[in-house]
């Protein structure tokens, strides 16, 4: 019995060898017939023979190889007696759609019972996964090549090294070259030669992937040779340093992201508070209106288009509400800042309850457009796209506001009124109109900030309250009436918050920042960049 | 018995004191002596509610002292109120003893729940009533003194001061929400059983607490009324009307401010301490900036700089709140918000101002 099996295996092996030679000699000529011959053998072969057959398939240059090898471990490759052909099932129900394995032609629905499954075991599955990965090595798509090397890194086998070396010789993508070198070094790390291991360890320093760090850590701890251990430790130190730098960079990014949100929330306030001396406690609720406007636009427009529409719309809504507030309440209270504070607080309560009554007290979910979701690589750093977009958005809003204040007629009048109201009036500036427009501008920016916030937090009636203390702190810290101060303050508070967070936890970080601000105001009551004036008391 | 002149000239104050005396006698009578099925019987709920209003009124008086007479708009007075409440709450917590869910003789339930093995140092001593009562004054007073001393010395004033007082109470709220602080985190302190051995839920205890609140309000009112009638009181008004001029005349403005601010915080602390046993819970929500601002609006409604107005405003607004949140919960925030706007725009001197104007016209 034994001899007969081995004989059969030997015969198949011989046939395969011939086939392989045939395939290798005419790489381009591997046609459907050759593929069909091998696939048909899969039906009869035992697992050992299947392994050999799979190796053969891998080396064939046929466009369907990847599809077939992908279907095989999922048990979707079948033999169909009717038609005597191999087919791939496209599902796993009792009645399934199939396609021809070799041509990919759809063959309609069949009952699964009529098909003959090609069985694989776990050993074969991992073999296929391994080979599929290396299949990508010669792909024209750099992404696929990268994925192939990554797959190798997860499961480094000395057998695969030759293929990697061959690829390295012709690879022209710099990144993939480096990755290939690292993969080869990872193989060398297991070599019996200590010198090779030292070399490999050196080459692997600075690679932060766990697939590389893990083996390096193991070598640093357990290698029999002291020099190898030392080399591994040195390499690890390099890796740790890199990880630390990445960590810092990430913290910085999160800080900038938080900072830009703070700036967005605060610059509208900087306009109303700084220019007009009006404490607008309803500022947070104007942001909330902006966020709700975003939600409303998304009810009528596709998500991907909603944001560009929502930004001007939110500006308009918030600005109009702002002007209404100014004309109906605030203008009666100029020169009485404490009363203004109370009145606008009352308005904030009304707006909150209004939203609660109209839209329900529950949070509304605002969808993130496709072009803002996911992550991208910023150098070595992986960052979420929506935060990046918001940082950019903050810069754009800031620049526009700055331009509006510096380069337009209205901006000139606003600055004039801020510096000396009486003199501006004497020069013919209609200060009441300027006040209304300034308040509208500040409120509109709050609305725009609300659009950004809707992408980061829950949109609900309490949205504004969560930001009001923070945004006042930013304005006061930066110095009232100074846009650059607001920017510097927002960024530094954001970064400081995120720097403290890992050390103290989020809530305590916030408390510490608040306490710092309270102390800071004692020291410099007019903020980082105070407005210069001659009055003893402004 | 002879009244001092500063009290005799204060007609509204005498009316207030008379009302408090009537309440202090009437409420116990109608609660304890009138049988429950009688239409004039005051339920325990009403007694507690009235007691609560009186505590709020004391808080309002303390705010009026600094805002109405000294021109400092504190948006963080609820913090002092809550701190006083927490101090007394800690005493009540220790009084629970082994009657808690976990039956630990020393540790309050939430500490057992958090697997703490011993009492944090700042909880020691709070099992003594006297110490806790002292702390009710000392903790808010100390915070107000330190905060005020630094703020006033560096001449933080006006809206800046308002904003940092708001930041202060906001920071405290965040801090007290943390479990690690050892004040029960989110849930705060609750499940109180008794005070000085008297069960909190008994009618008698409630009545005593009510009478104490009335006494505290009367005492607080008299203290403030006396203070503003002294020379110091005149300096306060001078500071409110022109701080620089007062300073140039040689008054140590920052000392006066710090002193009165501290006193006011202590009064707020007392109000909080009386409030907690009556409502049976204190949690970090009491630190919310909204609470402080709401208290400010009570004063504005009644009329600032009158002390009596603060009491009237606190009671009226809170009565409206109780009624509206029960009958038309949707409307309450609209009403409160509208009140803020209406009072500041239309009634800068509050209800008292309205009364005075009418008197003058007549």
Give per-residue pLDDT as tens, A175-229.
888 888 888 888 888 888 888 888 888 888 888 787 888 888 888 888 788 888 8
Collect all residues of chain A within an 8 Å Cβ-Cβ radius of residue B330: 353, 356-357
Q: What is the mean pLDDT of residues B345-356?
A: 87
Pairing of β A106-111 and β A95-100: antiparallel
Pairing of β A85-89 and β B198-199: unpaired
- CB-nearest partner of B337 from A349, A510, A522: A349
Token pair of A169 as six digits? 């010789």
Confidence of residue A14 (pLDDT cuts 50, 70, 90): low
Collect all residues of chain A within an 8 Å Cβ-Cβ radius of residue B163: 279, 472-473, 476
Check if A324 contacts B (Cβ < 8 Å): no
Residue B219 has pLDDT above 90, yes or no: yes
Collect all residues of chain A within an 8 Å Cβ-Cβ radius of residue B170: 469, 514
The DSSP code for A532 is P
Alpha carbon of B237: minimum distance to chain A alpha carbons (Å):
17
Helix (H, G, I), strand (E, B) or coil at A82: coil
Nearest to A164 by CA among A122, A195, A130, A204: A130
Collect all residues of chain B within an 8 Å Cβ-Cβ radius of residue A507: 174-175, 177-178
- Report the residue of chain A nearest B165, measured CA to CA: A518
Confidence of residue A5 (pLDDT cuts 50, 70, 90): low
Q: What is the mean pLDDT of residues A237-249?
A: 88
Helix (H, G, I), strand (E, B) or coil at A144: helix
Give the pLDDT of residue B2: 65
In chain A, the N- to C-terminal Cα span, in Å, equals 106
Share of chain A above pLDDT 70, in %: 92
Q: What is the mean pLDDT of residues A74-102?
A: 81
Residue B352 has pLDDT above 50, yes or no: yes
Alpha carbon of B90: minimum distance to chain A alpha carbons (Å):
23
The DSSP code for A524 is -
Give the pLDDT of residue A103: 82
Distance CA A518, CA A129 (A): 60
Distance CA A288, CA A452 (A): 11
Angle, helices A409-419 vs A431-454, to 10°: value is 110
Give the pLDDT of residue A4: 52
Residue A23 has pLDDT above 60, yes or no: no
Q: Which of residues 15-34 of A touch B (CB under 8 A)?
A: none
Give the pLDDT of residue A538: 40
- CB-nearest partner of B244 from A357, A473, A536: A536
Distance CA A189, CA A191 (A): 6
Distance CA A172, CA A331 (A): 69
Distance CA A20, CA A57 (A): 9
B300 CB-contact burial (10 Å; exposed 0-12 / middle 13-18 / buried 19+): buried
Contact check, Cβ <8 Å, B345/A333: yes
Check if B245 contacts A (Cβ < 8 Å): no
- Report the residue of chain B nearest A352, measured CA to CA: B333
H helices present in A275-384, as ranges? 276, 283-300, 303-328, 337-359
Helix (H, G, I), strand (E, B) or coil at A43: helix
A281-321 tens-digit pLDDT: 899 999 999 999 999 999 998 888 888 999 999 999 999 99
Confidence of residue A134 (pLDDT cuts 50, 70, 90): low
Residue A2 has pLDDT above 60, yes or no: no
Asked if B258 contacts B138 with a C-beta cutoff of 8 angstroms, the reply is no
Q: Residue A484: left if φ>0, alpha if ψ -120 to 50, beta else—which one?
A: alpha
Nearest to B56 by CA among B249, B247, B222, B278: B278
Check if B319 contacts A (Cβ < 8 Å): no
Give the pLDDT of residue A12: 55
Alpha carbon of B284: minimum distance to chain A alpha carbons (Å):
14
Distance CA B319, CA B332 (A): 12
Give the pLDDT of residue A133: 67
Contact check, Cβ <8 Å, A522/B154: yes
Nearest to B301 by CA among B288, B320, B286, B280: B320
Residue A28 has pLDDT above 70, yes or no: no
Cβ atoms within 10 Å of B282's Cβ, excluding its own: 31
The DSSP code for A372 is G
Distance CA A410, CA B320 (A): 45
Q: Give every strand in the sheet of A115-117, ordered side by side.
A: A106-111, A95-100, A85-89, A77-80, A115-117
Q: How many CB pairs under 8 A join A and B?
A: 122
- CB-nearest partner of A350 from B170, B338, B343: B338
Collect all residues of chain B within an 8 Å Cβ-Cβ radius of residue A511: 171, 174-175
Q: What is the mean pLDDT of residues A380-409?
A: 90
Give the pLDDT of residue A27: 43
Question: What are the angstrom distances between the C-alpha of A304 and each of A371, A374, B237?
Answer: 7, 14, 60
Token pair of B297 as six digits? 């609006």
Pairing of β B189-190 and β B281-282: antiparallel
Token pair of B186 as six digits? 């989110």
Alpha carbon of B201: minimum distance to chain A alpha carbons (Å):
35
Write b or e for each residue in B196-229: b if 16 or more Cβ atoms lie within 10 A of its Cβ, otherwise e. eeeebeeeebbbbbbbbbbebbbebbbbbbebbb
Residue B313's H or E segment, with its range, is helix B308-327
Confidence of residue A367 (pLDDT cuts 50, 70, 90): confident
Token pair of A462 as six digits? 């309490």
Distance CA A102, CA B7 (A): 106
For chain A, give every domain's residue range: 126-224, 259-363+370-465
Which residues neighbour A465 within 8 Å (Cβ) at sequence distance 6 or greater? A284, A348, A352, B290
Of A76-90, A121-135, B171-185, least confident by mean pLDDT is A121-135
Check if B151 contacts A (Cβ < 8 Å): yes
Q: Which of residues 50-89 of B touch A (CB under 8 A)?
A: 73
Backbone phi, then psi, for B173, in 5-degree steps? -60, -50
For tokens 């080459």, name the residue: A203
Is the sign of the CA dihedral A471, A477, A478, A479 positive or negative?
positive
Contact check, Cβ <8 Å, B297/A342: yes
Share of chain A above pLDDT 90, in %: 20
Share of chain B above pLDDT 90, in %: 59
Nearest to B270 by CA among B144, B106, B122, B99: B144
Collect all residues of chain A within an 8 Å Cβ-Cβ radius of residue B166: 469, 472
Check if A350 contacts B (Cβ < 8 Å): yes
Backbone phi, then psi, for A498, in 5-degree steps? -75, -30
Q: What is the mean pLDDT of residues A366-382?
A: 81
- Report the residue of chain A nearest B181, measured CA to CA: A508
Token pair of B336 as six digits? 């409160």
Distance CA A446, CA A5 (A): 80
- CB-nearest partner of B171 from A340, A352, A514: A514
Q: What is the mean pLDDT of residues A352-381?
A: 85
Residue A269 has pLDDT above 80, yes or no: yes
Pairing of β A95-100 and β A375-378: unpaired
Contact check, Cβ <8 Å, B333/A508: no
Angle, helices A385-407 vs A483-504, to 10°: value is 160
Contact check, Cβ <8 Å, B345/A329: yes
Q: What angle do CA A250, A254, A257 make, to 5 degrees?
A: 140
Contact check, Cβ <8 Å, B163/A518: no
A464-500 tens-digit pLDDT: 888 888 888 888 888 877 788 899 999 999 999 888 8
Mean residue pLDDT across chain A: 82
Token pair of B23 as six digits? 């309440």
Helix (H, G, I), strand (E, B) or coil at A204: helix
Which residues neighbour A43 within 8 Å (Cβ) at sequence distance 6 or greater? A79, A116, A118
Asked if A56 contacts A38 with a C-beta cutoff of 8 angstroms, the reply is yes
Residue of B337, B342, B347 for testing the chain A interface, max A β-carbons within 10 Å: B337
Is the sign of the CA dihedral A232, A234, A239, A240 positive or negative?
positive
Confidence of residue B60 (pLDDT cuts 50, 70, 90): very high
Distance CA B272, CA A315 (A): 43
Residue A83's H or E segment, with its range, is none
Check if A109 contacts B (Cβ < 8 Å): no
Number of H helices, E strands in chain A: 22, 7
Q: What angle do CA A445, A446, A447 make, to 5 degrees?
A: 90
Is the sign of the CA dihedral A76, A81, A83, A85 positive or negative?
positive
Q: What is the dihedral of CA B299, B301, B305, B307, to 10 degrees?
A: -60
> What is the DSSP secondary-structure string of B223-284?
HHHHHHHSHHHHHHHHHHH-HHHHHHTT--HHHHHHHHHHHHHHHHHHHHHHHHHHHSEE-G
The length of chain B in residues reads 362
Q: How far is CA A36 from the centre of its chain?
A: 44
B36-49 tens-digit pLDDT: 888 888 888 899 99
For tokens 């090779």, name the residue: A196
Residue A25 has pLDDT above 50, yes or no: no
Token pair of A398 as six digits? 């800031």
Q: What is the mean pLDDT of residues A90-101?
A: 79
Give the pLDDT of residue A537: 44
Confidence of residue B52 (pLDDT cuts 50, 70, 90): very high
Contact check, Cβ <8 Å, B174/A346: no
- CB-nearest partner of B164 from A279, A351, A518: A518
Of B4-8, B83-87, B341-345, least confident by mean pLDDT is B4-8
Confidence of residue A238 (pLDDT cuts 50, 70, 90): confident
Alpha carbon of B334: minimum distance to chain A alpha carbons (Å):
5
Residue A158 has pLDDT above 80, yes or no: no
Residue of B258, B301, B345 for testing the chain A interface, max A β-carbons within 10 Å: B345
Give the pLDDT of residue B50: 94
Contact check, Cβ <8 Å, A511/B337: no
Contact check, Cβ <8 Å, A511/B171: yes
The DSSP code for B33 is I
B249-299 tens-digit pLDDT: 999 999 999 999 999 999 999 999 999 999 999 999 999 988 999 999 999
Bridge partners (DSSP) listed for residue A395:
none
Compute the 3-state secondary structure of chain A and give helix, strand, coil in percent, each to the nearest 5: 70, 5, 20
Question: What are the angstrom distances between the C-alpha of B123 and each of A260, A279, B92, B94, B131?
Answer: 41, 40, 12, 9, 11
Give the pLDDT of residue A102: 82
- Report the residue of chain A nearest B180, measured CA to CA: A508
Distance CA A127, CA B18 (A): 95
Cβ atoms within 10 Å of A494's Cβ, excluding its own: 24
- CB-nearest partner of A518 from B168, B243, B300: B168
């Amino acid at each position: 019995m034994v001899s007969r099996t081995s004989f059969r295996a030997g015969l198949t092996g011989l046939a395969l060898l011939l086939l392989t030679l045939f395939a290798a000699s005419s790489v381009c000529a591997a046609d459907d017939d050759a593929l069909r011959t091998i696939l048909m053998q899969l039906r009869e072969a035992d697992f050992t023979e299947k392994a050999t057959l799979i190796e053969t398939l891998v080396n064939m240059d046929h466009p369907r190889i990847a599809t077939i090898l992908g279907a095989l471990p999922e048990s979707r490759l079948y033999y169909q007696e009717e038609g005597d052909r191999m087919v791939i099932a496209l599902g796993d129900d009792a009645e399934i759609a199939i396609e021809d394995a070799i041509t990919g032609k759809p063959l309609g629905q069949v009952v699964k019972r009529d098909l003959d499954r090609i069985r694989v075991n776990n050993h074969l599955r991992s073999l296929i996964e391994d080979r599929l990965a290396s299949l990508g090595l010669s792909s024209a798509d750099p992404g696929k090549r990268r994925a192939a090397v990554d797959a190798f890194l997860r499961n480094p086998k000395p057998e695969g090294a030759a293929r990697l070396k061959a690829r390295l010789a012709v690879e022209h993508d710099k990144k993939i070259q480096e990755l290939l070198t690292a993969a080869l070094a990872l193989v060398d790390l297991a070599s019996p030669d200590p010198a090779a291991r030292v070399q490999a360890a050196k080459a692997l320093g600075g690679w932060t992937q766990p697939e590389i760090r893990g083996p390096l850590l193991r070598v640093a701890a357990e290698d029999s040779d002291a020099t190898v251990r030392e080399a591994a430790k040195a390499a690890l130190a390099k890796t740790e340093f890199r990880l630390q730098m990445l960590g810092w960079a990430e913290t910085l990014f999160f800080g900038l992201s938080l900072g830009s949100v703070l700036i967005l929330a605060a610059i509208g306030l900087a306009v109303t508070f700084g220019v007009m001396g009006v404490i607008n406690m309803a500022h947070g609720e104007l942001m909330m209106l902006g966020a709700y406007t975003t939600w409303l636009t998304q009810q009528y427009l596709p998500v991907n288009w909603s944001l560009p529409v929502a930004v001007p719309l939110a500006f308009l809504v918030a600005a109009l509400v702002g002007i209404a507030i100014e004309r109906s309440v605030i203008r009666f209270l100029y020169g009485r800042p404490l009363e203004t504070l109370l009145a606008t607080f009352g308005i904030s309560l009304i707006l909150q309850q209004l939203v609660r009554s109209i839209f329900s007290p529950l949070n509304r979910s605002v969808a993130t457009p496709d072009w803002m979701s996911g992550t991208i690589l910023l150098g070595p750093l992986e960052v979420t796209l929506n935060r990046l977009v918001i940082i950019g958005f903050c810069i754009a809003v800031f620049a526009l506001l700055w331009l509006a204040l510096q380069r337009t007629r209205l901006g000139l009048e606003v600055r004039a009124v801020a510096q000396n109201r009486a003199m501006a009036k004497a020069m013919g500036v209609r200060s009441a109109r300027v006040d209304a427009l300034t308040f509208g501008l500040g409120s509109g920016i709050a609305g725009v900030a609300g659009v950004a916030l809707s992408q980061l937090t829950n949109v609900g009636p309490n949205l504004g309250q969560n930001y009001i203390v923070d945004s006042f702190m930013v304005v006061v810290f930066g110095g009232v009436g100074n846009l650059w101060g607001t920017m510097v303050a927002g960024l530094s508070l954001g970064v400081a918050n995120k720097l403290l967070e890992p050390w103290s936890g989020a809530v305590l970080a916030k408390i510490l920042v608040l306490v710092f601000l309270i102390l800071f105001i004692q020291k410099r009551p007019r903020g980082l960049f105070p407005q210069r004036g001659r009055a003893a008391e402004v | 018995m002879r009244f001092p002149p500063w009290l005799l000239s204060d007609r509204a104050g005498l009316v207030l004191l008379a009302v408090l005396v009537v309440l202090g006698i009437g409420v116990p009578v109608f609660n304890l002596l009138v049988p429950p099925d009688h239409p004039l019987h005051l339920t325990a709920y009403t007694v507690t509610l009235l007691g609560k209003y009186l505590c709020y009124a004391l808080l309002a008086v303390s705010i009026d002292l600094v805002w109405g007479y000294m021109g400092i708009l504190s948006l963080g007075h609820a913090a002092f109120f809550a701190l006083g409440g927490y101090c007394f709450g800690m005493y009540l917590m220790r009084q629970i003893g082994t009657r808690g869910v976990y039956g630990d003789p020393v540790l309050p339930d939430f500490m057992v729940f958090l697997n703490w093995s011993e009492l944090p140092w700042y909880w020691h001593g709070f099992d003594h009533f006297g110490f806790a009562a002292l702390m009710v004054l000392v903790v808010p007073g100390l915070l107000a003194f330190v905060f005020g001393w630094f703020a006033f010395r560096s001449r933080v004033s006006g809206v800046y001061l308002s904003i940092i007082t708001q930041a202060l109470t906001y920071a405290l709220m965040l801090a007290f929400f943390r479990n690690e602080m050892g004040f029960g985190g989110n849930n705060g302190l609750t499940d109180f059983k008794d005070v000085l051995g008297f069960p909190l839920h008994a009618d008698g205890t409630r009545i005593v607490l009510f009478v104490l609140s009335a006494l505290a309000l009367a005492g607080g009112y008299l203290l403030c009324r006396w203070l503003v009638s002294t020379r110091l009181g005149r300096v306060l008004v001078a500071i409110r009307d022109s701080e620089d001029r007062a300073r140039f005349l040689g008054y140590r403005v920052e000392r006066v401010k710090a002193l009165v601010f501290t006193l006011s915080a202590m009064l707020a602390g007392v109000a909080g301490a009386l409030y907690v046993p009556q409502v049976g819970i204190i949690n970090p929500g009491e630190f919310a900036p909204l609470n402080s601002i709401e208290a400010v609006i009570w004063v504005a409604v009644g009329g600032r700089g009158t002390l009596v107005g603060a009491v009237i405003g606190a009671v009226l607004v809170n009565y409206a709140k109780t009624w509206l949140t029960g009958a038309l919960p949707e409307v309450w925030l609209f009403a409160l918000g509208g009140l803020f706007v209406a009072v500041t725009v239309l009634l800068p001197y509050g209800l008292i101002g309205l009364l005075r104007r009418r008197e003058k016209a007549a």
